[in-house]
A and B are shown apart, each in its own frame.
Chain A
Amino acid sequence: MHTGLDMANYSTNEFKNGLKMMIDGDPFSIVENDIVKPGKGQAFNRVKLRNLKNGRVIERTFKSGDSVEAADVMDLELQYLYSDGDMWHFMDTNSYEQYEADEKAMSESAQWLKGEEMCEVTLWNGAPLTVMPPNFVELQISESDPGVRGDTASGGTKPATLETGAVVKVPLFVEQGEIIKVDTRTAEYVSRVKD
């Protein structure tokens, strides 16, 4: 499964979007690859790369024909099991292999997870580097003040705390105890979920 191990280097002619490689000790993913070739001159690959640890995008230029160390990075669909307070535990439902993600890897994702969700986990050297929650989650509202009719100053919304601790804005008619659908990419309320 660790496909990175049997090909330690990538040549520039293998460059394509999504390819993972090591730059200055960090894992990066190619987001754009342009070839610059003067008629009589050296060809270069001008590449935009996203740092998989912090999301920052850098630009680098490689002499075409050079090779770069591959990053041992892969994306897996893992099931979230539980948090012990320090670490978040995930499992590969095919192999039953378990993985521990730290707070840094979890970043904003932890607030959407209560258990059993399938998450996209990026592993670097076998350990979770980033965790993406499902695009949509359904969570119960644990706390929200009753809406006041005619209150337009707040834009017709009010804050609601969900069972996982996340806070989202919901319409005034949504009540405590209800289950709602949330888009985790925008942290926005989508709809009420009817049982």
Chain B
Amino acid sequence: MSKQWQPCAGQDVIQLRSDLLGKIRNFMNERQIMEVDTPALNLGSIPDSNIDSVSTSLSLLGSKQSFYLHTSPEAYMKRLLASGCDSIYQISKVYRDAEIGRLHQPEFSMLEWYRPEFDHHSLMDEVKALLSTLGLDNAERNSYENSFMHYLDVNPHTAPLSDLQSLAGNLGLHEESDDRSLLLEFLFSHSVSPNLGQDRPLFLYDYPECQAALARLSDTTPLTSERFELFIQGMEIANGYHELCDVNEQRERFENENRRRIQNGKAEIRIDEYFMNALQAGLPKCAGVAIGIERLLMVLSGKQHINDVMTFPIKND
């Protein structure tokens, strides 16, 4: 009889996941960070030129309504913060269309938490403490700029576009591009990130302005945003921001992302107006971070493929 019905993850990894979630909840409880639950279905979403939402339609009270499955619980959690919640966390399933491979599944688990009054550095401290409880000690940190210069010998923020173009060409980027953000992403993913966090976890902070996403721009370090990521063994594990609270700037960025989507032949994403209203009402100054649970499990179990830490992943073949 075919063994196709069996889970991909072995019993040891299924147990490891249970232990991991237990440790995360203990950590959050000790720090009085409250667990919350928000819906996966959302009428609007967060426009991102590089993330495709899964849409679905429901028959409700005699009419059809279309919804997005959330790509992260960010909008709903920020609405909770704006409504008066203090520190909160959530472990939820999130959905991203067309993402499948060694490190990707269209449905995966995300741990996300928010800390009022924190900035990105104090939140990195807290993520570091969480990593220590999981046996991943001595996380270090470096700026995006330093790392980039270390591996590519070019300054990501100030290098002329033509330098980035010729470097990208030499490293095998097929099509020429005059999109600075795209060139940086190619150079970073090709020559920098595979080297990061090989000996111990590494936080990279102060991302280029053009990759700010939902982070505030830095007042102190020109051309950067207060965004950080965590890398372990070359894998991107976490993404965090000192959160942007300015509703006008946020709307501008969303509209810009939607313009890029249309340029790339993708559907425009309906902006979540409830989220915009919450920002208008006032999001407290805070920092937030999202961690991919499966990738963390890959590190903890030594598995090389995301399918090996999931019970029933969608398979490529």
Among A39, A41, A60, A65, which residue has its beta carbon within 8 angstroms of that of B174? A60
CB of B265 within 8 A of CB of A66, answer no
C-alpha spacing A80/B12, complex, angstroms: 58
C-alpha spacing A39/B104, complex, angstroms: 10
Selected interface stretch from A30-38, A112-120, A180-188? A30-38
Residues of A22-80 contacting chain B, CB below 8 A: 23, 34-44, 46, 58-63, 65-66, 68
Q: Give the contact-size bracket for chain A.
A: 20 to 34
Q: Give B94-107 as 1s and 0s: 1 = Cβ < 8 Å from A's Cβ atoms.
A: 00001101111000
Tell me the minimal C-beta distance from A71 to chain B in angstroms.
Answer: 15
Which residues of A have CB within 8 Å of B101? 34-35, 37
Given contacts A34-B101, A61-B190, A63-B182, contact A40 B211 (CB under 8 A): yes
CB of A46 within 8 A of CB of B190, answer yes
| Interface: B67 (CB within 8 A) | no
Given contacts A38-B236, A40-B239, contact A61 B186 (CB under 8 A): yes
CB of A43 within 8 A of CB of B186, answer no
Q: Give the contact-size bracket for chain B.
A: 20 to 34
C-alpha spacing A195/B113, complex, angstroms: 79
- A-B contact number at CB 8 A: 70
Which residues of B have CB within 8 Å of A59? 172
Closest Cβ neighbor of B104 among chain A residues: A37
Q: Give A1-40 as 1s and 0s: 1 = Cβ < 8 Å from B's Cβ atoms.
A: 0000000000001000000000100000000001111111
Among A13, A35, A58, A63, which residue has its beta carbon within 8 angstroms of that of B175? A63
| Interface: B56 (CB within 8 A) | no
Tell me the minimal C-beta distance from B71 to chain A in angstroms.
Answer: 10
| Interface: B218 (CB within 8 A) | no
